[in-house]
Structure 1
Amino acid sequence: MALLTRMGFARVIGDSLAPVVDLVYPPRCPLCGDAIDAQSGLCSTCWAMLDIPGEPACAACQRPLSGFAVDENAMCAPCMATMPRHDGIAAGTIYGPASRKLVLAFKHGRRIALAPMLARLIAARLPVLEGAWLVAPVPLHRWRLWSRGYNQAALLAKELARTTGQELAVDLLRRTKRTPSLGGLGRKARARALSGAIALSSSGRARVAGARILLVDDVLTSGATSEACVRALKKAGAQKVVIACFARVIDDA
């Protein structure tokens, strides 16, 4: 109750200061720089540039499928080849020029104020979260966290927990070792790089058994990192794990 009171007070203070902030820093579209009405959005032209996932989609992973007569239980080729461990993927956008620019600004440009907008796009694609869920970010290794200053996935998880009313579990998972960039690596090389890299935290072990977990990241590329997280969570007894990301890279499968 006290936490809700503090959050409500902070929201009132933020709303009261919004006109002053807008006067000092006029709202600009973070993509093109054009003037906009509020600090937390894009201009209409840039909104139209975002590629939002739609139907039809894979019943297992929500990958967009081509064709007009796709059965509602149809699955994409990767899921038919190997059934995923996760219980679905909710992506706010398909990775493209516009979402890439937002991700780079958020992740490497220290534009952390983009977190609420990016999280709203993710929240719009979430399935109904019945019952209690834990909202957990994909972890960063402590050295990466130290050099960057923040975990972008944790910022998104915080916003999604607030939006959905679910419990934030920011320290549920941890990275036990530094991993190289996975870009350009094949499936087996990615698996080797991530072997043993993700584990439950000491405080998280007692919370996972039987839990439903929303696993949050900014970008889902190959899925190797999220797969390692899902594996650790399911091994510890998680009932369900849904992956939530802002941008999803779609290959030609």
Structure 2
Amino acid sequence: MNDLPELATRRQSFSGLLPGRALRQGAALLRTGLRGAIGIVYPPSCIACQAATGEAQALCPACWGGIGFIERPYCERLGTPFAVDLGDGLLSPAAIADPPVFARARAVCRFDGTARELVHRLKYGDRTDLALTLGRMMAQAGRELLPDADLVVPVPLHRTRLWTRRFNQAAALAQVVARQASLPLAPLALARVKRTRQQVGLTRAQRTDNLQGAFKVPPGARPRIEGRRVLLIDDVLTTGSTANAAARAVLRAGASAVDILTFARVVSDGS
């Protein structure tokens, strides 16, 4: 007779689990059904050309083939590809003649063809959804950098440009990369304090002058930067002027080292 209250309690606890579990299973089935229905009404399409694909947020075979992926062999500092494999650990003539402020740079692909179209759609076409796919590709391309990184920081926009564009594409990409790598994200650790001219059309020297004093680590963010290896995220690496200016500001704030990870980079014959 003394066991009856305990038995009743167990039965009550067990029966109380059933509705919650049933609700969770029902919600999962509902989500699956909704995804299936959406897939019928809005079949998945290529993020570049809108052709049909087997899954959402993907590239069709033609557009995938149109991306100039950067793979080894490449310069250990700049991440620019070599035409011939001469062994690991080599530096390009550009890296030797004009060493960058940052330690290492890596990019998914060359800034041309499909890659250029994707960047332009993300940056100017309000296609913020593209950040998910591009960010995942960046996490894969940056697999050498991520294990060494302590903090992920996006290259910021000046507040007036941010107001005009409504979002910072680098911050959107950084959020995905940080989540993929399970790294802390510091979106406000670096600020763009100088409103610069558009970099498009400027020479390397003009870009460097244009970005002089453009970035600063706010005093409140210094404790997060000091002594840490920072991974800076941007959409495109062109001449390296922006990356150098941003890296210089982070190093002045006490970072131990700075690496750069972008989706695309401009590759010239002299790289």
- Equivalent positions of 1:1-253 (< 5 A) are 17-68=34-85, 70-126=86-142, 127=144, 129-130=146-147, 133-253=150-270
Closer, same or farther: CA 56–178 of 1 in aligned 2, 3 Å: same
Tell me how far apart the structure 2 counterparts of residues 14 and 243 of structure 1 sit (CA, whole Å).
38
Closer, same or farther: CA 121–130 of 1 in aligned 2, 3 Å: closer
**8 A Cα contact 1:29 1:41, kept in partner:** yes
Deviation track 1:124-149 (CA, whole Å, cap 9, x = no partner) reads 11115336611110000111111111
Tell me how far apart the structure 1 counterparts of residues 145 and 243 of structure 2 sit (CA, whole Å).
21
| Coordinate RMSD, CA, aligned | 2.0
- Which amino acid in structure 2 is aligned with residue 81 of structure 1? A
User: 1:85 offset after TM fit, Å?
Assistant: 1.8
More off after superposition, 129-138 vs 100-109? 129-138
Query: Highest Rg: 1 or 2?
Result: 2
**Structure 2: gaps spanning 5 or more residues:** 1-27
- Which amino acid in structure 2 is aligned with residue 103 of structure 1? V
- Which amino acid in structure 1 is aligned with residue 106 of structure 2? A
Larger relative helix fraction: 2
Deviation track 1:41-68 (CA, whole Å, cap 9, x = no partner) reads 1111211111111111112222101224
The count of corresponding residues between Structure 1 and Structure 2 is 242
Tell me how far apart the structure 1 counterparts of residues 153 and 240 of structure 2 sit (CA, whole Å).
16
User: 1:17 offset after TM fit, Å?
Assistant: 4.5
**8 A Cα contact 1:91 1:125, kept in partner:** yes
**8 A Cα contact 2:149 2:231, kept in partner:** no
Tell me how far apart the structure 1 counterparts of residues 29 and 247 of structure 2 sit (CA, whole Å).
38
Tell me how far apart the structure 1 counterparts of residues 202 and 177 of structure 2 sit (CA, whole Å).
31
TM-score by length of 1: 0.89
**8 A Cα contact 2:222 2:254, kept in partner:** no
**Structure 1: gaps spanning 5 or more residues:** 1-10
Identity %, equivalent residues: 38
